[in-house]
Structure 1
Amino acid sequence: MLLSREDTAAGAAVRSLPRFDPYIMETYLDDLREMKRQVYDLFKYNPELLTGPELSKEEHRAMVRTQLRALLKEGINPLTFFDRDYKKYFYLAECLSMVDLSLMVKSGVQYSLWGGSVLNLGTEQHRRAYYDDIGAFRLPGCFAMTELKHGSNVAALQTEAVLDVSTDEWVINTPDEGAIKWWIGNAAEDGKAATVFARLKVPSQDSQAGLVDHGVHAFVVPLRDEAGRCLPGVEIHDCGYKVGLNGVDNGAIRFSHVRVPRMNLLDRFATVDKSGRYSSPLTSESRRFAATLGELTGGRVGLTCGSVGVLKGAVTIAIRYSAGRQQFGPPDSAEVSVLDYQSTQLKLMPLLATAYCLHFAKDHLVNLYVDMKRTKDALLVEEVHSLSAGLKAYTTAFTQDALSICREACGGHGYAAINRLGQLRSDHDIFQTFEGDNTVLLQQVTGTLLKGYRARFKGAPLSSTFSYLKQYVASELVWTPYE
């Protein structure tokens, strides 16, 4: 085969580029490469498990169920990771984000939200009752927190759980339209049970005082029988097509005086005895509420990992395409790679650099989370809560913008559905909203920072100001000797 002058010149230019061994960087960045290989090989060698762009909502949901069961059959059990090795669990979320974001979210609902709430908010009796079936996906479940009128404001949820002392049961009820549980993952088709967040109410010891409201607590509530039929008092509607993530079966749930045993209260932070007497090791309602939500920080960590995975994938697609696509060039010379143009570099190279930064920030967050779960240190709990809120908000917003830039950098080819950038953009968009709206999360970070500044300036104005400035100057004037 004869090469043209242009081909020869292009080949010489490529050969003149610096040699770089990606294995060195890969081993530095990634100490769980074997799991990535196992996950990606599963889908590489079983192409029937890959999601096509033409699937209907129903077909996509069925595909995600098949994918999840294929992972379990391969020996990859997300609940085992969530229970024993958080680092592997969050790493799996990052891997799945580039297989199908619907699969990543479905797995997160089943194992981090439904399974995690049972493990972290319940006690040993709940673990024994549910662990194996949740892990094997024999008991698909939901995380029924968000209501039609209340999303981020969890403390104001309206769903009620009233203790009937005579039957030793909780009566779960949706008091009005605004209290319908909405956008609940796994609800529309699969969910057989749910962790339902409701206002715990018990009869007052004073018969004239009515019910005492102890605030929002979590309860396990069965939804469907083995044949998939809704149980008496449970009404579920499909939320229908969404902008993205149509492989996740989101639904709306209404409860009409559904009765569950008293033991279905996830009672790690509060218990109620047969007489209706409420007790908790935490002395205030605000502390109990904070402890309950603090156990759910892992959802934000998982979304951060998934969003970083999407960013890595999109940047890889765009840069590879731009390196291979050639356009224009000097007269009588080979065309120039699109990536060699400064305008393309100004689009893509900052994204690549930020992807590396967010990779290390994500790893730092995961390591802090692991330490927090191990030590239960109160200061670390607060730090992880704040960092996960801020990093989730920043990462998801940056990735969403990056997806549009990557799509545009690929020109018309980036608009083809098979190249995934459009679908990734649609699927990822909701990451800015669920597990905490980004605006609200950043306000939480602001509150934490202001609290820290207030603590720094505690005491007499002059001495506290001097102490703060002393610490600030000391941190800025750190001498590093030359090597």
Structure 2
Amino acid sequence: MEQKKQNPKAEDETQVVSRRIQRISLHITPIPRPLHDHDSNLGLLPCARREKLEVETEKLSVYMRGKYRDIQEKIYEYFNARPELQTPVEILKDEHRELCWRQMYGLIREAGIRPLKYVVEEPAKYFAIVEAVGAVDISLGIKLGVQYSLWGGSVINLGTKKHKDKYFEKIDSLEYPGCFAMTELHHGSNVQGIQTVATFDPITDEFTINTPNDGAIKWWIGNAAVHGKFASVFAKLMLPTHDAKGVSDMGVHAFIVPLRDLKSHQALPGIEIHDCGHKVGLNGVDNGALRFTSVRIPRDNLLNRFGDVSRDGKYTSSLPTINKRFAATLGELVGGRVGLAYSSVGVLKIANTIAIRYSLLRQQFGPPKQPEISILDYQSQQHKLMPMLASTYAFHFATVYLVEIYSQMKMTHNEQLVGDVHALSAGIKAYVTSYTAKSLSVCREACGGHGYAAVNRFGTLRNDHDIFQTFEGDNTVLLQQVAADLLKQYKEKFQGGTLAVTWNYLRESMNTYLSQPNPVTSRWEGAEHLQDPKFQLDAFRVSSYHWLLLKNHRHKHSNLLYFLTSVIFLLTVPDI
């Protein structure tokens, strides 16, 4: 009798072990064809069937990507048809750089994508291109951005017709690969503090570019280490004084400086180029360091949209001060920040897609003697991924809106829009890139041990995206700028100044809430009201208003010491 009672138990244990081994083998067996062709082989259980998904994905794709879907699909089709251009999991730095160059060269020369045209005429289409190539390899997206948004964009936006006529086609066709040489070893965020100098020589009608010390070496310059032939070099423009005994500092300007011989590709006289080496991520981008020693360039190489020097050494500008010229210069370069926010959302989309698809297919635990269930059916997994998915949609539409007003700004040059784009791009870039960086770790953890496999991309995405929090504006510095802008808008409200369109909610919140001592808690407290999006928006508005009121009161004693001791409090203002 005892033997008979033990047999069913032994059989049950054998079946359990057998089933577990079978399922484990399904997870580690290579799948030669696309996943959707092998649903039956994966042994999907009813709880995880794809029939659960009732979304019409084709319509959703069209809605989300709009009229730029076709060019993104063209890019995906190009790379899908060329396995040799797809970045392998294991690749050395030098090989990755050359592959990244071949990827970009093929995209431009073979696929016929010409991004610089869209940088000028249709920025939204350009950003859609960058998002698509970033899905192939983030290094490729950044390298493309350096070539077209930074190097090409600086020539087009800071130069005049003579520069566009000379450089546009050759930049667009990759005949003139270039760099954007702004950051220095000792100065990154503080651009006005850069030390590279460009001194005008009225005798030869040239500028002489010099790196005065090691701290002024241009550092982390994309495209510089291997491929760049030119650079937009940001330097202080120095003009000889009338008595020729000294020089006058006219502020930071941009200059086109040839780096390498167009035929031999050797560094030109006076130019030292060094490799910044292996990085945490983005190793397909050849970051380098540049030192200039008495490098002479023609006067015409000054990008002179906001300030010019005549043959006899006289400086002219439509903008009266160094600060106004500097602000105008940086204002024309804000597109890089807009694009980075847009690309960060693209990375978040990829991570969400991988984690949610895996969670749907992965089965773990379940009722006794019943099939295991999809881990996406667990509330704990939903709690990790579903708010992130909702945020991804929100960020998508936020960055689409940012691109729309950026495009309007480029067409109209409206001063109010310029201020709006500057503040919004700073806030959105800082918030979105920080959120994405944290979410990449959450997505990796949500996929358990399989998420740690390099082939599943989380490690690469996390490493490549990490620097998004630093370049195009350190996130902490950007949030400080947003806080300062909000305080400025608050101050102008009570001095009769005009509020920027984005911050008009301040005026509305005054009318609604100043008459109530505690406008949020004094209203209804029922579930329907508390879940009403309008109430939630109102709550955020009144919260931001009271924080601004508090910060403005403290800011009455404004000085550097106050700023340094209260910056943590100021950084909370943009988050609200």
TM-score range, shorter chain: over 0.9
* Match runs of 1:123-272 below 5 Å: 123-208=160-245, 210-225=246-261, 226-272=263-309
Q: 355-364 vs 16-25, which deviates more?
A: 16-25
Partner residue, 1:25 = 60
Q: Residues 214, 12 of structure 1: CA spacing in aligned structure 2 closer, same or farther, 3 A cutoff?
A: closer
CA separation in 1, counterparts of 2:218 and 2:506? Answer: 50
CA separation in 2, counterparts of 1:64 and 1:274? Answer: 42
Q: Is the Cα–Cα contact under 8 Å of residues 163 and 201 in structure 1 kept in the other structure?
A: yes
Q: Is the Cα–Cα contact under 8 Å of residues 163 and 203 in structure 1 kept in the other structure?
A: yes
Partner SS, residue 217 of structure 1: strand
1:44 paired with 2:80, answer yes
- How far apart are residue 93 of structure 1 and its match? 1.3
* Match runs of 1:57-96 below 5 Å: 57-72=93-108, 73-96=110-133
Partner SS, residue 431 of structure 2: helix
Partner SS, residue 327 of structure 1: coil
Q: Is the Cα–Cα contact under 8 Å of residues 48 and 373 in structure 2 kept in the other structure?
A: no
CA separation in 1, counterparts of 2:489 and 2:454? Answer: 47
Deviations 1:385-405 (A, max 9, x none): 010011001110000000001
- Give, as a single letter, the amino acid of the residue that structure 2 aligns with 1:109: V
Q: 250-259 vs 468-477, which deviates more?
A: 468-477
Aligned-residue Cα RMSD (Å) equals 2.1
* Match runs of 1:66-465 below 5 Å: 66-72=102-108, 73-208=110-245, 210-225=246-261, 226-458=263-495
- How far apart are residue 12 of structure 1 and its match? 7.3
Q: 89-98 vs 241-250, which deviates more?
A: 89-98
Q: Is the Cα–Cα contact under 8 Å of residues 226 and 286 in structure 2 kept in the other structure?
A: yes
CA separation in 2, counterparts of 1:231 and 1:472? Answer: 60
Structure 2 unaligned regions, length at least 5? 1-18, 24-39, 498-503, 514-518, 520-533, 535-576
Structure 1 unaligned regions, length at least 5? 461-466
CA separation in 1, counterparts of 2:194 and 2:422? Answer: 21
Q: Is the Cα–Cα contact under 8 Å of residues 157 and 198 in structure 1 kept in the other structure?
A: yes
Q: Is the Cα–Cα contact under 8 Å of residues 307 and 395 in structure 1 kept in the other structure?
A: yes
Higher relative contact order (CA 8 A, sep 6+): 1
Q: Is the Cα–Cα contact under 8 Å of residues 456 and 468 in structure 1 kept in the other structure?
A: no
Q: Residues 148, 18 of structure 1: CA spacing in aligned structure 2 closer, same or farther, 3 A cutoff?
A: closer
Q: Is the Cα–Cα contact under 8 Å of residues 164 and 170 in structure 1 kept in the other structure?
A: yes
Greater CA radius of gyration, 1 or 2?
A: 2
- Give, as a single letter, the amino acid of the residue that structure 2 aligns with 1:217: H
- How far apart are residue 10 of structure 1 and its match? 2.6
- How far apart are residue 430 of structure 1 and its match? 0.3
- How far apart are residue 272 of structure 1 and its match? 0.3
- Give, as a single letter, the amino acid of the residue that structure 1 aligns with 2:348: L
- How far apart are residue 103 of structure 1 and its match? 0.2
Deviations 1:266-295 (A, max 9, x none): 000001011110010011111100000000
- How far apart are residue 20 of structure 1 and its match? 2.4
Partner residue, 1:463 = none
- How far apart are residue 15 of structure 1 and its match? 7.2
- Give, as a single letter, the amino acid of the residue that structure 2 aligns with 1:207: A
Deviations 1:343-363 (A, max 9, x none): 111111111010000000000
Q: Residues 140, 470 of structure 1: CA spacing in aligned structure 2 closer, same or farther, 3 A cutoff?
A: closer
- Give, as a single letter, the amino acid of the residue that structure 1 aligns with 2:103: Q
Q: Is the Cα–Cα contact under 8 Å of residues 44 and 361 in structure 2 kept in the other structure?
A: no
Q: Residues 337, 48 of structure 1: CA spacing in aligned structure 2 closer, same or farther, 3 A cutoff?
A: same
- How far apart are residue 81 of structure 1 and its match? 1.3
1:10 to 27, 45, 55: 45
1:55 paired with 2:91, answer yes
- Give, as a single letter, the amino acid of the residue that structure 1 aligns with 2:186: K
CA separation in 2, counterparts of 1:449 and 1:38? Answer: 42
CA separation in 2, counterparts of 1:33 and 1:18? Answer: 22
TM-score w.r.t. the length of structure 1 is 0.93
CA separation in 1, counterparts of 2:50 and 2:184? Answer: 59
Partner SS, residue 254 of structure 2: strand
- Give, as a single letter, the amino acid of the residue that structure 1 aligns with 2:102: T
Q: Is the Cα–Cα contact under 8 Å of residues 328 and 336 in structure 1 kept in the other structure?
A: yes
- Give, as a single letter, the amino acid of the residue that structure 1 aligns with 2:49: V
Q: Residues 454, 13 of structure 1: CA spacing in aligned structure 2 closer, same or farther, 3 A cutoff?
A: closer
- How far apart are residue 474 of structure 1 and its match? 4.4
CA separation in 2, counterparts of 1:218 and 1:249? Answer: 22
Partner SS, residue 249 of structure 1: coil
- Give, as a single letter, the amino acid of the residue that structure 1 aligns with 2:256: V
Q: Aligned pair count?
A: 467
CA separation in 2, counterparts of 1:468 and 1:93? Answer: 33
Q: Percent identity?
A: 56
Deviations 1:49-87 (A, max 9, x none): 100121101100011011101111201111121122111
CA separation in 1, counterparts of 2:397 and 2:345? Answer: 10
